[in-house]
Amino acid sequence: MQTSAPNLNPMQYFDLMFGDTIINMFVHYTNLYAAKKNASKSCPITKDEMYCFIGILLYSGYVIVPRRYMYWQNASDCGMPIIYNAMSRDRFTYIMSNLHCCDNSKLQSGDKFAKLRELFQLLNQNFAENAPFEEHYSIDEAMVPYYGGHPCKQFIRGKPIRWGYKFWVGATRLGYILWFEPYQGKCSTVTSNHYKNAMGLGASVVLEFADVLKEIDKQAPFHLFFDNFFTSIYLIDELRLRGIRATGTVRENRVAKCPLTANKFLQKTPRGTFKYQSTSAEHILVCKWHDNSVVTVASNAATIEPVAKVKRFSQQQKKYILVDQPAVIKKYNENMGGVDRSDQNIGLYRTSIRGKKWYFSLICHALDMAVQNAWQLYKNNGGEYDSLNFRRYVATSLLESYKKNFERKDTRASGLFRDCVRFDGKNHIISATKKLILFVQNVM
């Protein structure tokens, strides 16, 4: 983890996240897979070609066409010289059909994401090494859109992305992803079994992220925030014993018989009413606050004081009113949305090219996470580009720097559009050209 970084351009920040080590890994395993699949037709991929391939994927995030072959069509409505001058359509298809980041003969048994494990480990390592130093981190779930068949595909009702892979993510307040881990179900061998057996799946995710933070800095005063899927009084106490502060919303049946007013009675009180209990020895606070509904928060660090005033709209009085809000609720609201912010940033310009293999969407998501993190570092160090211009800078830099040394020759326009203007009878007057003038002079 670094507290500051030198002034770098966007391409250099991208290299910190998705640099030569990862590119060389893709080149090596893609060539290995292509040679094993069909040695007679394999054509080794170079590092420059892989960079161009990555650049095209990034380009597809903000210039979207219905079919990826349209990037190479010689038509006035979709021809894109920056793409077809960097890589041919057939070469892109060849790389995409053979793209790999593992050796299929050495996959770890029991890991449903073994084909991507090395890539995920390298990204987590790069994210942690270059993370900005902060105190507050949030833990939540993130969805990667996928509609094909895979045993880990999830459906979560009410989410912006309902179908896809679920990731556990630890992020800063502004959305820098420090750690991620794909969800594999309750039988996962990757998630620490001793955590899971003791406190359940949600707590095991938080404790694994806590271990990651402690490896980065054992003395830093980290403060974790998470929602009611993860929170229990036992988890809050375990984190206190580890020297990590924690705050999270908690379900009513997980407050370990804390003597607080039941939700059904608290809902009948005026808006802004709150009740709380705390332990003197463990310094664990449980607070219930009546807002639109009753919210319960547990913490081993935050307190009730100072009580702030927040503006809410009253349906009865038909105007905005001020209601009390405990400090623990305010602190939770200020620091919990980091994972949602990263999802929002990634979703704005998500890679649009799709493949038939189940892991291709995860590779594209890993690339989008790397770009989003690189932009977060860039902004944290005074960069002026917004997310779109940052992505454009990286994509065009890759396509211009690593393209082949010659441009594609002129080709005939697509026949789909050529005939409709060939016989329309408009603007087909013969114009005098140098070649035509010489021909007429020779004839005469």
pLDDT score of 195 more than 60: no
pLDDT of residue 409: 63
pLDDT score of 396 more than 80: yes
430: confidence class by pLDDT, cuts 50, 70, 90 = low
Domain edges within the chain: 10-108+352-401, 248-330
pLDDT score of 419 more than 60: no
pLDDT in tens, 174-184: 999 999 999 98
pLDDT of residue 3: 47
Least confident of 92-96, 204-208, 259-263, 350-354: 259-263
CB 118 within 8 A of CB 364: no
pLDDT of residue 346: 95
Burial class (CB in 10 A: 0-12, 13-18, 19+), 74: middle
pTM of the model: 0.88
Please state, for a pLDDT cut of 90, what percent of the chain lies above it. 55
pLDDT in tens, 205-248: 999 999 999 888 877 889 999 998 998 889 998 999 988 999 99
CB 224 within 8 A of CB 245: yes
Q: Which helix (H) or strand (E) holds 196?
A: helix 193-199
pLDDT in tens, 128-151: 999 988 999 999 999 999 999 888
Q: What is the dihedral of CA 225, 227, 231, 235, to 10 degrees?
A: -20
What does each C-alpha distance from 125 to 3, 97, 214, 244, 353 come to in angstroms?
16, 27, 14, 22, 27
